[in-house]
Structure 1
Amino acid sequence: MTAASATLRVTKGHGTQNDFVLLDDRDGDLDLSPELVRELADRRAGLGGDGVIRVVASRRLPEGAAVLADEPSATWFMDYRNADGSVAEMCGNGVRVFAAFLERLGLWSDDELALGTRAGVRRVRRVAAPDGDGPWFAVDMGAWSVPGGADAVAAGYDAEVDVPGLQVARPALSVDVGNPHTVVVLREEELGAADLTRAPLVLPVPPHGTNVELVVPLGEREVDGVVAGHVRMRVHERGVGETRSCGTGAVAAAMAVRTWAGSGAPDVWFVDVPGGTVRVTALADGHAELAGPAVLVADAEIDLAAVVAGRRP
């Protein structure tokens, strides 16, 4: 299939209101150009979304073939693009929505799903939601790290972020979750004052850009007999702008606050974002698990000629 085809069937879904246009292109026939991604993600001239996710057989992409070499069961690849058309490593909320989409398509019914991403294999399982309202999807997000190493951990920061709307630049901690993040701690009143219609300035300038998380620690509470941390977060996503949620950002935020808290900090963290709440768990093997809802809200048929025309000045 090419972008010149008359129509394109898509599904719209979201994870805590981080929303995506989903494509079933399992045979890899679609020419998913940056222009087409921008047209689909446009909220006025297209369907609208924070990104576009394509289901494609791993063997159909070079990146997927590399994943299969390490994990033969990862037969499906999550081809994720930011709303600006740029290729991204992966997306934590998107992984859950991708899993729900595969389930809808009849491509996943086992207890665990191994799927390929540009950040490696991600494993997904269904879990009970804390409030009992429908199933959640839990994703092993792989290893997380503080790129600045022991010096950054000891100092509590390795970068500086100038956030529009705030008077002074703030120290920040870089966290890698398969994609780059920079986490800044604020007071509650500062979180609302931050202007994320403009990208924060991060120094040193990250070579591949970065997502910036603004977090407010909210203390600890007991959930199902386990002491859990609690934070509130806003995020400016690389290549997108402010979004209602960011799965990898929630992991980065939780692990940064856990790092700042030091020895004895909880392993489980609930992260409130404008679009809802997700749960992050630090696993014993140095990985982090992200759990939260995934909702498929609509199926649609896109008139590609109309979408392309709608982008013209």
Structure 2
Amino acid sequence: MKIKFTKMHGAGNDFIVIDAINQQINLTPAQWRQLADRRFGVGADQILVVEASEATDIDFRYRIFNADGGEVEQCGNGARAFVRFVTEKKLTAKTELKVATMKGIIRPRLEADGSITVDMGAPVLLPEQVPFDVTGLSSTDVADDTLWPLQINGRTIMMSALSMGNPHAVQIVDSVDNADLALDGPAIEHHVRFPNRVNAGFMQILDRHTIRLRVFERGAGETLACGTGACAAVVSGIRRGQLDTPVRVETRGGTLSIAWNGGTSHVMLSGPAVTVFEGEITLPAED
């Protein structure tokens, strides 16, 4: 099976983007994993699939597969790559799009300066909707935020649990450089209180408009940037009373900008999206 693809990245968070409008795509989890494998495939944090929409008022459908082969709900950096892809491939002439994802509608926009802004919707803050099991836990209120204790690796961390279309656990650390993501990331991702697993965010606050962030992503491990993780961290920091919108998010792969006015207002994510190369790969047929 031959598949044409485009390799892209958003602040170092890298993607394989596939046009499923002009070619037939029906892969197994094992084949998604092979595509994402950095030694035996193309290599990527996530694979993005562009599909035609069945609804007349929706421009495209957008699907996301993690490097472990599992389909997931949302990807903020991927949404920006998606816009760059459909624009460069001339699949649309619009600069503002309405795109269906597993978790609902997103509205990305190509700006005049070439950057891309994505309306990520309102954050989901109710634990049962993240989902996060709070049975038997005692929370601590910090300004407008609710911090929950989580037992990992023999100690307790205090974190915010929220969803940006996918689940996030955000904690504040003194230094992201000293955070042990290799140890703590998997422990948080697979914690029993997150039935759908979770993205683990480690946030260092530099000032009221600037943070540094590392994210251990569900199904991908640590990535150089995470768009929904940046949104979740900023929402948590603003709710804790420690940040003011807009916030510059410094990741290991680049810089993102997040704006959120609190409450039920939508989170706006802005940043770059870059095409790296195009290619074609042959995947062996599954038995």
Scaled to the shorter chain, the TM-score interval is 0.7 to 0.9
The alignment covers a number of residue pairs equal to: 270
State the match for 2:132 in structure 1.
none
Q: Does the CA-based 8 Å contact 1:215-1:231 persist in structure 2? A: yes
Q: Does 1:253 align with 2:233?
A: yes
State the match for 1:185 in structure 2.
172
State the match for 1:100 in structure 2.
84
State the match for 1:64 in structure 2.
none
1:93 match: secondary structure = helix
1:256 match: secondary structure = helix
1:234 match: secondary structure = strand
1:86 to 33, 55, 70: 70
How far, CA to CA, are the matches of 1:84 and 1:19 in structure 2? 14
State the match for 2:121 in structure 1.
142
Q: Does 1:218 align with 2:206?
A: yes
Residue segments in structure 2 that go unaligned for 5+ positions in a row: 129-137
State the match for 2:246 in structure 1.
268
Q: Does the CA-based 8 Å contact 2:37-2:43 persist in structure 1? A: yes
Change over 3 Å in CA distance of 1:244–1:215 after alignment to 2: same
Q: Does the CA-based 8 Å contact 1:219-1:230 persist in structure 2? A: yes
Change over 3 Å in CA distance of 1:273–1:115 after alignment to 2: same
AA partner of residue 201 (structure 2): E
Deviations 1:88-139 (A, max 9, x none): 00100000001110001112222311111111111011235xxxxx521000
AA partner of residue 148 (structure 2): D
Scaled by the length of structure 2, what TM-score is found?
A: 0.87
- 1:22-33 aligned at under 5 Å gives the runs 22-26=17-21, 29-33=24-28
1:40 match: secondary structure = helix
Moved over 3 A (4+): none
State the match for 2:34 in structure 1.
39
How far, CA to CA, are the matches of 1:242 and 1:81 in structure 2? 16
State the match for 1:160 in structure 2.
150
State the match for 1:48 in structure 2.
43
Q: Does the CA-based 8 Å contact 2:6-2:277 persist in structure 1? A: yes
Q: Does the CA-based 8 Å contact 1:28-1:57 persist in structure 2? A: no
Alpha-carbon offset, residue 267 of structure 1: 2.2
Alpha-carbon offset, residue 304 of structure 1: 2.0
Q: Does the CA-based 8 Å contact 1:161-1:172 persist in structure 2? A: no
How far, CA to CA, are the matches of 1:175 and 1:243 in structure 2? 19
AA partner of residue 116 (structure 2): F
How far, CA to CA, are the matches of 1:169 and 1:210 in structure 2? 17
How far, CA to CA, are the matches of 1:187 and 1:162 in structure 2? 18
Change over 3 Å in CA distance of 1:185–1:302 after alignment to 2: same
Q: Does 1:279 align with 2:279?
A: no
Deviations 1:270-309 (A, max 9, x none): 111100010111147521010000001100111324xx89
Residue segments in structure 1 that go unaligned for 5+ positions in a row: 60-67, 129-133, 221-228
Deviations 1:52-87 (A, max 9, x none): 11111122xxxxxxxx3xxx4313111110110001
> Per residue, is there more helix in 1 or in 2?
1
State the match for 1:231 in structure 2.
211
How far, CA to CA, are the matches of 1:302 and 1:239 in structure 2? 23
Over the matched positions of the two proteins, sequence identity in percent amounts to 33
AA partner of residue 73 (structure 2): E
